[in-house]
Structures are given as C-alpha cells and as structure tokens.
Amino acid sequence: MNTFNASKVRALALAFAVFGILACIAFAPRLLAQRSAAASAPDSRGKQVYDAHCVECHGPEGKGDGPAAHLMTPRPRDFTRGRYKIRSTESGSVPSDEDLLRTVRQGLYASSMPGWQKLLPDDDIRAVVEYVKSFSTRFAAEPPVAIPASATVPSSPQSILRGSAVYEKLQCGKCHGTDGHGTGAAVTSFEDDWAQPLNAADLSEPWTFRGGATSDEIYLRFRSGMSGTPMPSFKDSANDGEMHDLANYVVSLARKPLWDMTAEEAAAFYARQDAEAKANPVKRGQYLVDTLGCTLCHSAVDEHKRLIPGLRLAGGLRIHVAPYGEFTTGNLTSDKETGLGNWTDDEIKRVITKGTLRDGTRLLPFPMDWASFSTMKEDDLNAIVAYLRTVPPVRNKIPGPSWTFLPVHLWGKFNVLILGGDPPLTFYGGNAGSAAEGK
Amino acid sequence: MKKILKWIGLAVLVIAAGGLMAFLYYIPPFFTTTPEEFSATMKSAAPPASDIADPLQRAMAERGREIVVRTGCIGCHAVNGPNGPDYTKYLGGGGIRIHSPTGTFVSRNLTPDPETGLTQRSDDEVKRVLRSGVFPDGHVVPSSAMPWANFSNWTEEDRHAVVVYLRHLKPVRHKIPDPIIRPEPLEPGVIERDYAFKDYGLPEK
C-alpha cells in the first residue's frame, strides 16, 4: 500500500487535528456555558442562609431531621408539612409571613430556636423565610387566614376570676394541672401528629412560652391552636372575651423565676424540685438521660449523623479509639436479649459509675464518661435505671469490645508517649449492631 | 570473660525492652487506677461554690457545679498538660480538636478570663450556645461535637445555674483558636474525628 505513505498520513493527521481544534473553539463557549449553568447556578440567598445556619436541626431538605433533631424536645419543625404551631392565623391556616419573620427574628423562647435578629441582617431573614416557605406547597396554594381583631380585655381581678372558670370549663387542667404546673394532670407527655415527643407547657413558667408570654400572645394560642399537637383551637368552645379572660388567668399563674428569688425562696424551690424528682423517678431519669448526652452516642446515626429511625438508645455507634481498639455503644433499651432487659439494677449502675461491664471488663474512661456520671447521687442513678426500664425494647445485638492486637497497641503507645504522636478517636456512621437499618 | 559480658549485656537489653513494654502497657494508668479514684478526682477537681458570699448566688452555683460535674464538661474542656489534664486550670479548654464534616472545632475556654474566656460574653450569649449551639458570629457548632442539643433539654433554671457556676471559676488565661468553618470531607463512613491527647490551645507569645 504505497499510496498511504508517511507524508500522506501526516498530512491527514494534521488536517484532522486542525479540524478538531477548530471544532473545539467553535463549541467551547456553548459547552462551557451549559456546564456552568448546570454546576454553579448560584444558590438563592435564602438557601445560602439556610444551609449555613438551619440544617443542623431542620435538615438539608427541611424535613426537621438534622443531626441535632432527635436529641431535643420539642423536635425541630418539619417544613415540608407546612404546619406551624406559633401563628396569628385561624386554626388550620398557614402562618402569615409576619408570623414566620417573628419566629426567626425573636426565636421560640426556651427552645433551641434562637432569635436571629442580632445575628443576621434582616434581608437574610426575609430571604430564609421565603426559602423555608418553598419547602411546602401549602404556601403557594392557600393564603393565610388572619384572625379578626378582637377587643382585648385588660387584666383585672374580675377578668382573672372569669378566666379561672374558663380554665375549668375547657378542662385545661387535664394536661396543664390545676395550678398550671401539672399538678393533678392526667398526662403531661404526648406525641404530636408525627409521633414526636412533646410536653405540655408548664403555665407557671412564662419564660418558657415559645410564642411569648403577654396576654395577647397567649390569647392567640387559644384562638389559633397549636397545629399538629394535642393543643386545639378553642374558637368553637369559647368566645373571644372568654379567651382573653383565660389569657389573663394564665398570666396570673406565673411564679417567680429562680434568678429573681430570695435565698430562702431558692432553697424552697430546690427542695420542691428534689421532692418532685423523688416522687417521679421515671421523669427525672428521662431528664438526666436526655441532658447527659446518653442519646448522642447510644443511638446509631447515618453517614450524615442523622438518627437511623427506630434506633434511639439502641446503641450501635462504632468508635475507634487508637491505640486501644474498637468499641460499639451499648443497647440501652429494655430488650431482654440484646439490651438491658436482663441486667440487674446494680449491673446497670456499675457500668454507669465504674465503667465495668457485666462480665467484669473495664472500659476506658472515655468516650463513655462514667467517672463524671459517678458523681451523681444514688437517687439520680436509680432514676436513670427506672427510666431506661421504660424504653421500649429494640432488638439490636451489639458486638463486644475489640481490643487492638498487643504489639500494635504497644507501638501505638510508643508513638504517643515517646514520639509525641496524636492518635484520633474516630466515629463511624451506620449501625454496627444486628438490627437492619431503617427497621 | 567476654562471654559473661555478652550475656550480661543481653540480659540488660532484655530487661530494658521488657521494662519499656510494661511501661507502655500500663501508662496511661487507665486500668490500674480504681474507678473510685477516678470518681474522687472528678468530684474534687471542680472548684467549690461554697465560698460565694451571696446565699442565692451560692445556691445556684452549687446546683450549677453539680450539673457541670455530672455532665463531664471537663472531658473536653480540660487543659491538657504533659501528664494528662491539668485540673488546676478547670475548664480552661483546648483539650480536644474535633474534625467534623462542617469544620474544625477546638473546645473553648469556659473560665471568666477577660481576654481568652467568657467574661465578654453575656449570659444570653452563653445560654444561646448551651441551647442552640449558635455563637455570637452566627456559626453553628455541630451537636455531636458540643452536645448542646442534649443541653437544650435543661430547664432554663438549670441552664442559668450552670452559667452562674461558670462565672465563678478561677480565670485561666488560655487562648483557643477560632473554629474553621468549611466543608471538611472525611473518609467514607467516618462522621467525626477527634484529637484529644495534647493541648490544642494557642501558645502564649
């Protein structure tokens, strides 16, 4: 094949190359433009603010399932439902823009929702509210229905007296107690419409009222109801005047907060608190478990640190502690086989206070901080046990500690103690226990 | 004679190696210290609140101390020295550096030191961190790094008591580096990595 000699091949190759380059030059701007449109369409300001400040609780998709969500009561709002508790709109209506702006600016008092007005410019707050609304189709479909203005009733002994009769008539005491503090209440812990835990408000502590503690703000809670919770709207069972009287009565139930007390009052307050803890060990135990951070490690989470549904307190979080070994957090539910169901009270207290497992194995003093937990009073330890007994059983068999092979362990120590190395603690997503994920 | 020296030399070497291995095995003395000793250390490490003159402040600070001690704040907020945590600098911070997918965080100095501690932070600012994990510059610390989501379940009165106690600590001058807020990819499956052996505060000039 002499016709295809070397110079011809070279010429052909050159022609192809030139054609290729020309084609690239011709199409590149269009290709690049497409690429940048797909990859770096700038996020809206609202999304930027949301991603920077809101996802830890409300989750990236607004479902109220961020990493922090399962650790707190009440849980953060799921924006995709478009249902909100703190509103100035009629029962069943979406909140007004002003309602949402107020919540973001001022926060929901005594909850994890902080007031952002000192932290973010108002334009950012407006942008993030628009973005939050976009998670639900309700806002586009239904305009908010404002509650018509009603004549407020100024507080007076007569109004408060009338309000106390309304309190009886509407049976507020069933959840809030005869004194607003839960005394004599049938039940004070609930689940909302999405099976998330929720406590009845303590009406003697106005600084914990999420939507504010003025008479007018309290009136709005009666009138609009708290969507998704057992707190209904009383629009059909009481008139506006009665609801204003009731609000005045609730304001009158306020007690002094600790920080305004005299020393004698504070002593009496703490004595009462301790007596209540003793009388209700399960509630006290839950308070300790929720606040000590037990739920943080003893619940398996996914690779985004979000609770794997159903595994609260069921253990399964894998932690590698160099150079010691690998440890999986225990199943604290009452399951007899894989949880604490068959442990005696003393065995549970021994692991909490001495870091010593049932078979006598000792744990490291971290990450399970049994040395700190050991400073608790016996009553508190008993309360924790009492609460853990009530945690519904979840079958999740946890592998025992896996200690590092001795020579590797000694080398690791040599690295730390002699060479000044710095070995990490590593936490893994996923459930290391036997339960299938998501069950 | 040479043979004997050789044997002695070998024996010394074996003993030295054995000694090093035993040292490495038992230090730090996590398993040779009794749980009761750990317990006693935790109880006594926290400065008492009983010396506060004002009876209300004292009552609140004592309750706050109880909460701070049982919750184990010192586990992360200790000042690490060459021989482990230095409890004379209680809650001076810098004891842990946490690498999270959203950034890197070093435990803060919780003592009332005017420059490096919480003195310039208002009660509301401290409480906001303990309730929402939100710092005055607006950044959010992960709830797994600092268990604020768990602490959010404290009653407001317990939270107040904690702040009263923190205000009463001995000031410790210990500057802590600012958090680095930026996406930090960890290996697949890893959700957090902590370093907790050294002092991660900033050295004094």
pLDDT tens-digit readout, A156-174 = 999 999 999 999 999 999 9
pLDDT at A1: 40
Please report residues of A whose CB lies closer than 8 A to that of B156: 110, 205, 207-208, 257
Which segments of chain A belong to CATH 1.10.760.10?
A: 46-141, 157-255
Q: Where are the domains of chain B?
A: 1-32, 35-195
Least confident range from A17-31, A64-78, A243-257, B41-55: namely A17-31
User: Does any CB of chain A come closer than 8 Å to the CB of residue B52?
Assistant: no
What's the average model confidence in pLDDT over B169-180?
98
Could you give the percent of chain A with pLDDT greater than 90? 87
Q: Which of B57, B62, B140 to mutate to test the interface with A (most CBs of A within 10 A)?
A: B140
Distances (CA, A) of A326 to A77, A137, A292, A315, A351: 36, 46, 23, 14, 18
Give the residue with greater pLDDT, A361 vs A39. Answer: A361
Matching residue, tokens 């937990």: A373
Q: Which residues of A touch B153 (CB under 8 A)?
A: 71-73, 287, 290-291
Q: How confident is the model at residue A2 (pLDDT cuts 50, 70, 90)?
A: very low
Dump pLDDT digits (tens) for A411-428: 999 999 899 899 999 999
Q: Can you give the pLDDT at residue A24? A: 47
pLDDT of residue B199: 96
Using CB atoms, which residue from B41, B133, B138 is nearest to A56?
Answer: B133
Asked if residue A236 has pLDDT above 90, the reply is yes
- Euclidean distance between CA atoms A27 and B123, whole angstroms: 61
pLDDT band at A27 (very low <50, low <70, confident <90, very high): low
Mutation target vs A (from B60, B63, B70, B195; most A CBs, 10 A cutoff): B70
Predicted confidence at residue A438, as pLDDT, reads 45
Write down the pLDDT at residue B136: 96
Asked if the model's pLDDT at residue A351 lies above 50, the reply is yes
Model ipTM? 0.96
Is A263 in Cβ contact with B134 (below 8 Å)? Answer: no
Residues of chain B with Cβ-Cβ distance to A423 below 8 Å are 195, 197
User: CA geometry: angle at B199 spanning B193 and B201, to 5°?
Assistant: 95
- Residues A198-216: what's their mean pLDDT? 96
| Contact (CB, 8 A) for A266 and B59 | yes
Contact call for A72 and B133, based on CB within 8 A: no
Which residue among B66, B71, B194 sits closest to A292, beta carbon to beta carbon? B71
> Cα A182 vs. chain centroid, distance in angstroms?
24
Whether cis (ω within 30° of 0) applies to the bond prior to A393 is: no
pLDDT score, position B185: 87
Q: Is the pLDDT of residue A17 over 70?
A: no
- B74 interfacial to chain A (CB closer than 8 Å): yes
Residue-wise pLDDT tens digits, B34-92: 999 999 999 999 999 999 999 999 999 999 999 999 999 999 999 999 888 999 999 99
Q: Please state the rounded mean pLDDT for residues B22-45.
A: 94
Closest CA to B142 of B95, B194, B202: B194
Angle at Cα A286 formed by Cα B109 and Cα A228, nearest 5°?
100
Sheet holding B103-106, edge to edge: A402-403, A325-328, A318-321, A424-428, B190-195, B97-100, B103-106, B180-181
Confidence of residue A3 (pLDDT cuts 50, 70, 90): very low
Strand ranges, E, within B28-145: 80-81, 84-85, 97-100, 103-106
Task: Tell me the mean pLDDT in the region B6-11.
Answer: 94
Cβ–Cβ gap B138/A119 under 8 Å: yes
Percentage of the residues of chain B whose pLDDT score is greater than 90: 93
- CA of B7 vs chain A CAs: smallest distance (Å): 26
Minimum Cα–Cα distance from B21: chain A residue: A410
pLDDT, position A42 = 86
Model confidence at A38: pLDDT above 80: no
Predicted pLDDT at B1:
73
pTM for this model (two decimals): 0.92
Mean pLDDT (chain B) is 96
| Nearest Cα to Cα of residue A173 among A113, A255, A246 | A246
Q: Is the pLDDT of residue A400 over 80?
A: yes
Is pLDDT at A15 greater than 90 in this prediction? no
A275/A289 Cα distance (integer angstroms): 19
Mean confidence (pLDDT) of chain A: 92
How close does chain A come to B1, measured CA to CA in Å?
Answer: 36
Task: Answer yes or no: do A120 and B138 touch at CB < 8 A.
Answer: yes
Q: How far apart are CA A120 and CA A104, in angstroms?
A: 10
- Residue A372: band (very low, low, confident or very high) from pLDDT cuts 50, 70, 90: very high
Which of 3.40.50.720, 1.10.10.10, 1.20.1260.10, 1.10.760.10 would CATH assign to domain A46-141?
1.10.760.10
Distance from CA of A355 to the nearest CA of B (A): 7
Tokens in use for A125? Answer: 């707050």
Nearest residue of chain B to residue A202 (CA atoms): B155
CATH superfamily, region A157-255: Cytochrome c-like domain (1.10.760.10)
Two tokens, residue A244 = 């204003």
- A5 pLDDT above the threshold of 70: no
Cβ distance of A110 and B156 shorter than 8 Å:
yes
Asked if pLDDT for residue A437 goes beyond 60, the answer is no
Which positions 8-47 of B are in contact with A (Cβ < 8 Å)?
20-21, 23-25, 27, 30-31, 35-36, 38-39, 41-43
pLDDT of res. A21: 56
What is the distance between the terminal CA atoms of chain A, rounded to a whole angstrom?
71
Cβ pair A411, B79 in contact under 8 A? no
Confidence check: pLDDT of B179 > 90: yes
A374-384: per-residue pLDDT in tens? 999 999 999 99
To the nearest whole Å, the CA of A242 is away from the closest chain B CA by 31
- Taking a C-beta distance cutoff of 8 angstroms, is the pair B89, B45 a contact? no
Bridge partners (DSSP) listed for residue A319 = A327, A427
End-to-end, the C-alpha distance of chain B in Å comes to: 58
